[in-house]
Chains A and B, each alone.
Chain A
């Protein structure tokens, strides 16, 4: 079954490459979804079936839906794609890609010099995972619960539409600015 592993790895790599090069946000999101499904396949082949399940349900199911909602809310479409096409020139991506490639080459050399060799992944099922999660890592679970609570409250607070309240002097200034802006647009 090694061939399945290599196929899933290649799919993940290609899909990720497509994510960072697409111009249209929706296309990038769909490619990221494919990449996440490939990750789930990799997890399954590594014997982590529960992690594969979580990857599909939470990442590909829930988090991607959040992204798609935001893309829909912001109505990102053809104009964004045009703008991205203008931004993404070889001059822009050559330097960072070269630097990241150098870092990856160092990582490659380090990993290849370790000499660990092949192994057969042992299946670690949900039972062992749950026992470990609720015994040794109980404090981490509680902290994660607090983090999620803080994230929900924070998102609700940040996402709220506040009415802009200005001092009356600033308000006059703002009206003038808006008039100027309208004239400029006309």
Chain B
């Protein structure tokens, strides 16, 4: 099984997925969907790293992917804990309700 892919196509795919993640973060008002979009962006950057690593046959791309994975796990656990607290205090996930979050 031999695959020949063009590095441009892979990187463009990663860029497209990243752009979709940006759009998701901007257009959504529900904080859970924003966190999901951040996950999409992290995945897209991981795809770009893996593609670069496979282009030169080096393991560094996958190493970076492992680090991204650890970072995503940490970010999700903290983010979801924050979401739970926000929901208990405001009874809503609308980010506009957090405008008065001062002090």
**Contact status B63-A137, CB under 8 Å:** yes
**Contact status A119-B7, CB under 8 Å:** yes
**Contact status B74-A150, CB under 8 Å:** yes
Q: Which of B29, B37, B50 contacts A48 (CB 8 A)?
A: B50
Residue of A nearest to B75 (CB): A151
Docked pose: A143 CA to B82 CA in angstroms: 23
Tell me the smallest distance from the CB of B40 to a CB of chain A, in Å.
Answer: 6
The A-B contact count (CB < 8 A) is 236
Q: Which of A1, A29, A67, A148 contacts B2 (CB 8 A)?
A: A1
B101 CB–A CB distance under 8 Å: no
Docked pose: A140 CA to B60 CA in angstroms: 12
Q: Which of A39, A58, A93, A151 contacts B47 (CB 8 A)?
A: A39
Q: Chain A's interface: helix, strand, loop or mixed, by majority?
A: helix
Docked pose: A12 CA to B16 CA in angstroms: 10
Q: Which of B21-56 contact A (CB under 8 A)?
A: 21-24, 26-30, 32-33, 35-37, 39-40, 43, 46-47, 50-51, 53-55
Q: Which of A12, A62, A131 contacts B17 (CB 8 A)?
A: A12
Docked pose: A83 CA to B55 CA in angstroms: 45
**Contact status A104-B36, CB under 8 Å:** no
Q: Which residues of B contact A (CB under 8 A)?
A: 1-13, 15-17, 19-24, 26-30, 32-33, 35-37, 39-40, 43, 46-47, 50-51, 53-55, 57-63, 65-67, 69-78, 80-85, 87-88, 93-94
Question: What 3 pairs between A and B have smallest CB-CB spacing?
Answer: A151-B74, A20-B24, A122-B57
